[in-house]
Chain A
């Protein structure tokens, strides 16, 4: 039996880095400590006996097993033969695979998009419009005395966020944890997060923009109508005063704003409200990023080509125009003639008409597990689970990069996301008649291996 400590959980944007994983002598994961129920289940299902370990290809209407070479070759052919391939997903994998994906997308003149498009893409658009006053989660632990969750439900979606960073955790100026903080929740339902709150505001659905505008008016002490978005003037003034009176406040926001009518404009005004609050006190704002490395997907895309998501390489240079070059819109308009889906499941998470487009074009799906996407694919390649069977870099929701650890070897024959993408790319280059560069083995940084030695302990 051995225990791997300081394991990073590859599930949500909280990216907890304090997990312990017990592995028995047969290299089977038998227990985790410190993870929430979701993180625990990710580790405990990783080695399920019914996990699919072989590539499959669609023949006669069914997905049938094939060799890895066949799957790689067919995937490359699909991409080379397409006029406008879509390469989508990238959020449940590490930055190294994302970087390889950028190169492949450029090589095949495709559109590269990640799951930001259906989570915090509108937040990115707003940040590009008005900027963002933000910070790291460490600042929140030590300083935040007013914490406002707007349209997000961390108890369900980021289960350890409140205990590790934002609410219960004791910090330098918040020695008593929750007792030193005022929790405000704005949601259209009284969620588990809301049930905890010192102040709960339940506006009419889709009217967050007006409510935030009303808060800005209240901050200035200007007159308000009797109620806005179903919230009384007294309650609006109470929230505004609580925010004004805080020493250090933070707004965490989620899909309740980005997916609701107004979309990026809701974020735009949330940021503007935060900026207004800085006239009176210190106030910051942060997006609750969902997939554990969706923030990394934006980072990698930005440092590779200047744009965070929805990047179209069809003209030989990167173009960015969400609404036009976004995966969702491309599928809605049926413009893609092939797709590569990796580390995301649009089959489950895109509106059904977009899924119909995906199911009607040659599609390659790369995922450790069977999903609705893999089952409508033309080629399915199972992959190793990043953060469990493969080390790599990921960005937490506050854009702090964290090195994820490998706790067990992947099943025999199962490749990592990066290996799969690199092999497809090399085959693409062969088919395109380009010179394929020598493979150079990527070594783990020396300090990482030394670190690994310290963090393993035998029991």
Chain B
């Protein structure tokens, strides 16, 4: 990100899609899962503000972390100000741990900033988890 890049602030919700449902059965280590859940839906009217082409990489950042995903035109607009990432390891990089003492994390309603990430690759689910954790301990 450079200082001239526009900073686009949005309200992130995460949730299910049918493609994500298909990919989680046996394909979590495959490209299908990246295609199904490694993106962010943004309202078509907001791509200009964001200054990226649909399909290119962006960094989504919250108070809790950040992740590289592809920016896709939302087919469910208009919903300006709201962005959507399918539930999965990409979305959960930016979800916080506070459950408001209910047990339930706030998977919807997360304030994020989105900036262009030209040339950055969307990692696979397993590579992403290994990179952002210590990768498991010996028994």
Residues in chain A near residue B31, CB distance under 8 A? none
Residues in chain A near residue B136, CB distance under 8 A? 58, 63, 359, 363, 375-378
- B interface, size bucket: 35 or more
CB-CB contacts of B60-81 with A at 8 A, as 1s and 0s?
0000110000000010111100
| Contact in complex: B97, A354 (CB < 8 Å) | yes
Residues in chain A near residue B16, CB distance under 8 A? 153, 156-157, 255, 290
| Contact in complex: B103, A322 (CB < 8 Å) | yes
| Contact in complex: A370, B29 (CB < 8 Å) | yes
State which of B1-9, B49-57, B87-95, B113-121 sits at the interface with chain A: B87-95
Contact flag A74-B139 (CB < 8 Å), given A153-B16, A205-B11, A351-B97: yes
Residues in chain A near residue B89, CB distance under 8 A? 347-348, 352, 372
Residues in chain B near residue A351, CB distance under 8 A? 64, 92, 95-97, 105
Name the distance in Å between A115's Cβ and chain B's nearest Cβ. 11
Judge if A256 is at the interface, Cβ distance under 8 Å. Answer: yes
Judge if A345 is at the interface, Cβ distance under 8 Å. Answer: yes
| Contact in complex: B87, A189 (CB < 8 Å) | no
CB-CB contacts of B92-109 with A at 8 A, as 1s and 0s?
110111111111111111
| Contact in complex: A41, B22 (CB < 8 Å) | yes
Name the distance in Å between A414's Cβ and chain B's nearest Cβ. 14
Residues in chain A near residue B87, CB distance under 8 A? 349
Q: Which of A74-105 contact B (CB under 8 A)?
A: 74, 77-78
Residues in chain B near residue A74, CB distance under 8 A? 139
Q: Which of A185-221 contact B (CB under 8 A)?
A: 188-192, 194, 202, 205-206
| Contact in complex: A369, B26 (CB < 8 Å) | yes
Q: Which of A323-377 contact B (CB under 8 A)?
A: 323-324, 326-329, 331-332, 345, 347-356, 358-363, 368-372, 375-377
Name the distance in Å between A170's Cβ and chain B's nearest Cβ. 25
| Complex: chain A residue closest to B25, CB-CB | A42
Contact flag A259-B18 (CB < 8 Å), given A326-B99, A347-B129, A356-B132: no
- Bound CA span A356–B93, Å: 11
| Complex: chain B residue closest to A121, CB-CB | B103
| Contact in complex: A205, B109 (CB < 8 Å) | yes
Contact flag A329-B99 (CB < 8 Å), given A190-B77, A376-B135: yes
| Contact in complex: A205, B126 (CB < 8 Å) | no
* Residue of B78, B82, B93, B109 contacting most chain A CB atoms (<10 Å): B109
Judge if A278 is at the interface, Cβ distance under 8 Å. Answer: no
Judge if A38 is at the interface, Cβ distance under 8 Å. Answer: yes
- Bound CA span A121–B103, Å: 7
Contact flag A37-B18 (CB < 8 Å), given A352-B132, A372-B126: yes
**Contact count A vs B, C-beta below 8 Å:** 224
In the complex, which of the residues B105, B108, B137 contacts A350, with contact meaning CB atoms closer than 8 Å? B105
Judge if B48 is at the interface, Cβ distance under 8 Å. Answer: no
Residues in chain B near residue A68, CB distance under 8 A? none
| Complex: chain A residue closest to B65, CB-CB | A352
- Bound CA span A259–B15, Å: 10
- Bound CA span A309–B96, Å: 22
- Bound CA span A345–B87, Å: 12
| Contact in complex: B26, A353 (CB < 8 Å) | no
- Bound CA span A11–B25, Å: 9
Residues in chain B near residue A51, CB distance under 8 A? 26
- Bound CA span A117–B99, Å: 10
| Contact in complex: A362, B11 (CB < 8 Å) | no
Residues in chain B near residue A61, CB distance under 8 A? 135, 138
Judge if A310 is at the interface, Cβ distance under 8 Å. Answer: yes
In the complex, which of the residues A38, A153, A264 contacts B102, with contact meaning CB atoms closer than 8 Å? A264
Residues in chain B near residue A48, CB distance under 8 A? 26
Contact flag A359-B134 (CB < 8 Å), given A37-B18, A326-B103: yes
Residues in chain A near residue B104, CB distance under 8 A? 117-118, 121-122, 258-259, 263-264, 328
Judge if A155 is at the interface, Cβ distance under 8 Å. Answer: yes
- Bound CA span A121–B95, Å: 18
Residues in chain B near residue A260, CB distance under 8 A? 106, 108-109
| Contact in complex: A372, B28 (CB < 8 Å) | yes
| Contact in complex: A255, B15 (CB < 8 Å) | yes
Residues in chain B near residue A37, CB distance under 8 A? 18, 22
CB-CB contacts of A268-310 with B at 8 A, as 1s and 0s?
0000000000000000000000100000000000000000011
| Contact in complex: A156, B28 (CB < 8 Å) | no
Residues in chain B near residue A368, CB distance under 8 A? 26
Q: Which of B1-54 contact A (CB under 8 A)?
A: 11, 13-18, 21-22, 24-29
CB-CB contacts of A21-50 with B at 8 A, as 1s and 0s?
000000000000000011001100110100
| Contact in complex: B108, A205 (CB < 8 Å) | yes
Judge if A402 is at the interface, Cβ distance under 8 Å. Answer: no
Judge if A15 is at the interface, Cβ distance under 8 Å. Answer: no
| Complex: chain B residue closest to A52, CB-CB | B29
- Bound CA span A353–B26, Å: 25
* Residue of B88, B104, B105 contacting most chain A CB atoms (<10 Å): B104
- Footprint of B on A, CB under 8 Å? 11-12, 37-38, 41-42, 45-46, 48, 51, 57-59, 61, 63, 74, 77-78, 117-118, 121-122, 125, 153, 155-157, 159, 188-192, 194, 202, 205-206, 255-256, 258-261, 263-264, 290, 309-310, 322-324, 326-329, 331-332, 345, 347-356, 358-363, 368-372, 375-379
Other CB < 8 Å A-B pairs besides A190-B77, A190-B78, A356-B134, 4 of them?
A: A263-B104, A290-B16, A349-B92, A375-B136
The 3 closest A-B CB pairs, nearest first, are A326-B103, A323-B101, A45-B26
